[in-house]
């Protein structure tokens, strides 16, 4: 991770010095360039910050840690992530409490392949500062059940298993743009249950975010950009139960030229991290 960050930072410093290329540019929702400090200042007023990532983009992962540190320097935080499934919360809690080490977490929890480089720094930041870290996602096997059989398949889960998903029945609107868009994108390979499986993830993440909000804190949630772009998906479910929450979003896009934000990327989020598409990947 240190070597990767060094490469990224050197790339950025060299590009900044020659004035021609740079690794990334921050934009507002309307496509205006924004300074990092200005973005953080605005994020400080939120109850929940959604940080939408490209899972293999090193700039996004670096900025996730930097933004978290910046907000944590003046505010109490609660962290949460799509990358941890709810039935692994106990193992995550054990690690945060120092009851198991990193090897123990790796052997008992289902960690993503890029955990050590991209998410361990966030978890360790939470551990060092005694912040909660919430495993918000539905266990993948249950999302797969929905994909195969629809929401009805969740009714047969045990009482314990149902504690790891949003309360049943899960509200579902097939006309939401993100779910319609998924069907259109997949074309002939799509099925009506595909966006249902996505909705089971969105609803569950919203449920665990809502259940772990604390007065006077900022909840930062890390997720794939699709889960929070256009203020939909997870946000749709969260706003159904908490309409008064102040929510702010960050997303990631990649472009061959980052000096101007592409029109189609405007309004994806409150802040857009535009990364040079030639940036190296973490996997």
Tally of domains in the chain: 1
Residue 5 forms part of a structural domain: no
pLDDT at 13: 45
Q: Which pLDDT value is given to residue 140?
A: 97
Range of the domain at 103: 24-276
Question: Is residue 19 a part of any domain in this protein?
Answer: no
pLDDT score of 101: 98
In a domain, 8, yes or no: no
Q: Determine the pLDDT at residue 190.
A: 75
CATH code of 174's domain: 3.40.50.11550
Residue 50, classed as helix, strand or coil, is: strand
The verdict on residue 11 lying in a domain is no
Q: For residue 41, give Cα distances in angstroms to 35, 37, 75, 96, 231.
A: 10, 6, 12, 28, 20
109 located within any domain: yes
With helix as H, strand as E and coil as C, how does 22-43 read?
A: CCEEEEECCCCECCHHHHHHHH
Please tell me the predicted confidence (pLDDT) of residue 189.
73
Quick check: is 247 in a domain? yes
Structure token pair of residue 249: 């979003």
Residue 2 lies in a domain: no
In a domain, 104, yes or no: yes
Under 8 Å between Cβ of 271 and 29: yes
Q: How far apart are CA 146 and CA 140, in angstroms?
A: 10
- Cα dihedral across residues 57, 62, 65, 68: positive or negative: negative
Pairwise CA distance, residues 65 & 58, whole Å? 11
Note the pLDDT of residue 103.
98
Any idea which residue has 């998906």 for tokens?
233
Task: Report the chain (283 residues): mean pLDDT per 10 consecutive residues.
Answer: 48 42 94 98 98 97 98 98 98 98 97 97 98 98 97 97 98 94 80 95 98 97 97 97 96 97 97 96 93
DSSP-based three-state secondary structure for 137: strand
What's the CA gap between 11 and 282, in Å, rounded?
15
């Amino acid at each position: 991770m240190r070597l990767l960050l060094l490469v990224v930072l050197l790339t950025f410093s060299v590009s900044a010095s020659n004035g021609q290329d740079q690794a990334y540019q921050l934009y507002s929702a309307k496509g205006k360039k924004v300074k990092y400090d200005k973005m953080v200042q605005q994020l400080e007023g939120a109850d929940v910050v959604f940080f939408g990532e490209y899972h293999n983009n090193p700039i996004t992962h670096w900025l996730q840690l930097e933004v978290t540190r910046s907000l944590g320097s003046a505010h109490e935080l609660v962290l949460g992530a799509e990358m941890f499934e709810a039935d692994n919360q106990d193992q995550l809690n054990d690690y945060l409490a120092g009851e198991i080490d990193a090897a123990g977490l790796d052997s008992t929890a289902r960690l993503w392949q890029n955990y050590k480089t991209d998410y361990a720094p966030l978890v360790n930041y939470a551990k060092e500062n005694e912040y909660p870290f919430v495993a918000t996602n539905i266990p993948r096997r249950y999302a797969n059940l929905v994909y195969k059989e629809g929401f009805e398949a969740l009714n047969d889960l045990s009482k314990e298993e149902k504690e790891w998903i949003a309360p049943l029945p899960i509200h579902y609107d097939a006309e939401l743009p993100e779910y319609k868009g998924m069907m259109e994108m997949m074309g002939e390979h799509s099925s009506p249950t595909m966006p249902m499986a996505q909705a089971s993830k969105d609803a569950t993440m919203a449920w665990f975010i809502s259940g772990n909000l604390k007065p006077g804190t900022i909840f930062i949630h890390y997720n794939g950009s699709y889960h929070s772009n256009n203020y939909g998906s997870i946000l749709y479910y969260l706003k159904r139960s908490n309409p008064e929450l102040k929510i702010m979003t960050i997303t990631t896009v990649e472009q061959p030229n980052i000096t101007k934000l592409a029109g189609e990327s405007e309004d994806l989020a409150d802040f857009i991290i535009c990364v040079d598409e030639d940036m190296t990947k973490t996997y």
